[in-house]
Amino acid sequence: MARKLRDVIKEWSPQQLTGLDASFYYAESPRTPMHIGALAIYDPSTAPGGFVRFKDILSFIESRLHCSKTFRRKLKTVPLGLDHPYWIDDPEFDIEFHVRHIALPKPGDWRQLCIQAARLHARALDLSKPLWELTVIEGLDNIPNVPKGSYAIVSKIHHCAIDGASGVDITEALHSLEPDADPVEPGAPWSPGRRPGALELLARANWNNAVKPFHALDVARRIAPGTLKFAAGLTRGDIKLLGAKIPRTRFNGIVSAHKAVEATTFKLEDVKAIRQRIPGVTVNDVMLAVVGGALRRYLKAKDELPADSLIAMAPVSVRKAGEKNAAGNEVTALSIPLGTHVADPLARLHFAHEKAKNQKAMSNAVGARELADMSKLAPAMITGVATRLYSRLGLANRLSPMFNTVVTNVPGPQAPLYMAGARLTASYGLGPVMDSMGLFHAVTSYCGEIAVTITACRKMMPDPAFYRECLEASFTELYEAATGPRDAKKRPPAGARKREEATRTTNGAPSIVDDLTKIEGVGEKLAKRLNAAGVIRFAQIAALSEEDATALEARLGLKGRIKREAWIEQAAALAEGRTPQTRNDASVH
């Protein structure tokens, strides 16, 4: 019997969902479809003849199906759910089931396009078919900056099949770099592989469950050095735990089946101009700060802004170069405070940068790849049952959230892409929403622009256009704080120039972190605690209202010191370049 079991296993060894991949499959429900995708807009004027027909798009996609196995594979579940599902070829694959064609309702404006994209994204994929779908949308006639005759494509691919990085690879597989590019090299004639029987699936499940403890030991062996490195970092103070309780917001409950989609775009050169304001800041840090500012504005307008910072879950790819076209998910996740409790935009950027740097240090210490491998070891039955119980018991309304929103950054190509000759003019990422995670931000870049697209539960965010305005206002506020007003023509006064020159950093950029120890009563340790709380500038302290000062004192345990030691008055003087009057000075007079 043992010999036959080994023969069965060796004879059939297709790709199986990992524990992480399978978690997206188990989380699937009519309310929470677990696909990712994009809303892409195309200008057909670049195509031969200046137009593109639906059959041209269909033919172009069909000619590239061999570029990814994802297109023709579907899932085969294991009897009794004893193991994670497997990918098998679909012998009944029909491209016309997966590529569809509709028209946008009049007036064909941006709002109608977002509503249509939200409706399409809210519908679950057919789990008995290959897990992808493209819908061509015509009638985009009243959208600013979109050429007449353009069309859109809403794509959907199940998250158990791809992550953001492999999604970019599939996007590239379905596009060319020239409008009249030569056809791709045809693949070998396709024929579906054989379908496994129940006995084979059960045999494989028994084998996998038998060897899983050994895989766990291997991961534990590889993660042990990183654990020691992590502990050493904590001891030295190089790594800090988040510590604070994650606040609950309107986005952290049970989601409805209805979705909302909205997006806005910024110039990459403007983002880079902000990045240069603080040494070491990345484009991702800037976008985290923009999202933090937008959430602050939105929740403040609803009178729902928590005193503590909201936390974003930021997926990080651990995919190696050799895994470029591999299916599945190769990611780990960072929990990054967004600085929603910080009013000053530059201080919020500094806060997000420091928190992101700390989280990366934690991930690097343990090993991002090892953390991702740990997530793949969960037993199938436990993962499936736990995921479904979380949803059915409504635990999202009872348990504290692990994070408040998702912010995923997926860099895209900076050269134009074409499909069937039509130029891709804009691309907006779409993500899943699920219980306790009702707001998803996709940050994507393409051809010198960065788009921020939100997918949300419509019940939790009934006004997505207002949130888009919050994103745009947050970006403008941060840009002007970093570079000055866009229409500013005059140089600052001489006194201001001297103060700026006196606070320049070694790389020539003006420093935004003031030396808070110049305030009498603030020592080095307290200054570091204030910085960690997002307070880095004299102007922030000078602008504290009585309510804000009380909240800050409660957070840091200051017990009335702000008023008693006249921090606000001292900070106001220092912000203006004056020497503050200390308590000792006051006693002399």
Which CATH class, in words, describes the domain spanning 2-198? Answer: alpha beta
- The least confident of 253-262, 333-342, 397-406 is 397-406
- Name every residue whose Cβ is closer than 8 Å to that of residue 196 and which is 6 or more positions away in sequence: 12, 14, 76, 86, 88
Which tokens hold the place of 341?
A: 């409790």
- The least confident of 5-14, 240-249, 502-511, 559-568 is 502-511
CB-based contacts of 496-500 (< 8 A; 24+ apart in sequence): 499/577
- pTM comes to 0.80
CA 372 to chain centre: 17
Mean pLDDT for the stretch of residues 103-131: 96
Which tokens hold the place of 437?
A: 């995670």
Task: Check residues 232 and 125 and name the one with the higher pLDDT.
Answer: 125
Pick from 17-21, 82-86, 326-330, 575-579 the range whose average pLDDT is largest.
82-86
The pLDDT confidence band at residue 188, using thresholds 50, 70 and 90, is confident
- CATH assignment, 201-415+429-483: 3.30.559.30
The answer to whether 341 is a known catalytic residue is: no
Across the chain, what does the average pLDDT equal? 82
Residue 350 clears pLDDT 80, i.e. is over it: yes
The values of phi and psi at residue 422, to 5°, are -85, 135
Q: Helix (H, G, I), strand (E, B), or coil: what is residue 500?
A: helix
The pLDDT confidence band at residue 588, using thresholds 50, 70 and 90, is very low
**Pick from 159, 11, 10, 16: which is nearest to 84 by CA?**
16
Mean pLDDT for the stretch of residues 178-207: 82
Summarised one tens digit per residue, pLDDT across range 299-330 is: 999 999 999 999 999 987 655 555 555 555 55
The pLDDT confidence band at residue 93, using thresholds 50, 70 and 90, is very high
Pick from 78-87, 382-391, 552-561 the range whose average pLDDT is largest.
78-87
Instruction: Answer yes or no: same fold for 2-198 and 201-415+429-483.
Output: yes
Catalytic residue among 159, 175, 341, 441: 159
Mean pLDDT for the stretch of residues 418-431: 96
Mean pLDDT for the stretch of residues 7-34: 79
Residue 242 clears pLDDT 90, i.e. is over it: no
- Name every residue whose Cβ is closer than 8 Å to that of residue 476 and which is 6 or more positions away in sequence: none
- Cβ atoms of 257 and 332 within 8 Å: the answer is no
Residue 374 clears pLDDT 50, i.e. is over it: yes
Instruction: Determine which helix (DSSP H) or strand (DSSP E) holds 408, and give its type and residue range.
Output: strand 405-410
How would you classify the pairing of strands 405-410 and 311-317? Answer: parallel
- Cβ atoms of 446 and 39 within 8 Å: the answer is no
Mean pLDDT for the stretch of residues 242-253: 84
- Cβ atoms of 418 and 41 within 8 Å: the answer is no
Query: In the chain, what are the domain boundaries?
Result: 2-198, 201-415+429-483, 513-588
Distance CA 341, CA 329 (A): 33
Task: Check residues 358 and 348 and name the one with the higher pLDDT.
Answer: 348
Distance CA 288, CA 352 (A): 7
The pLDDT confidence band at residue 501, using thresholds 50, 70 and 90, is very low
Mean pLDDT for the stretch of residues 502-531: 72
The values of phi and psi at residue 557, to 5°, are 65, 45
Amino acid present at 517: T
**Pick from 558, 500, 495: which is nearest to 525 by CA?**
558
Summarised one tens digit per residue, pLDDT across range 34-52 is: 999 999 999 999 999 999 9
pLDDT more than 90, % of the chain: 48
Task: Check residues 42 and 515 and name the one with the higher pLDDT.
Answer: 42
Mean pLDDT for the stretch of residues 263-271: 97
Q: What one-character DSSP code corresponds to residue 106?
A: T
- The least confident of 142-151, 200-209, 432-441 is 200-209
Task: Check residues 414 and 184 and name the one with the higher pLDDT.
Answer: 414
3-state DSSP of 219-267: HHHHHHHHHHHHHHHHHHCCCCCCCCCCCCCCCCCCCCCCEEEEEEEEE
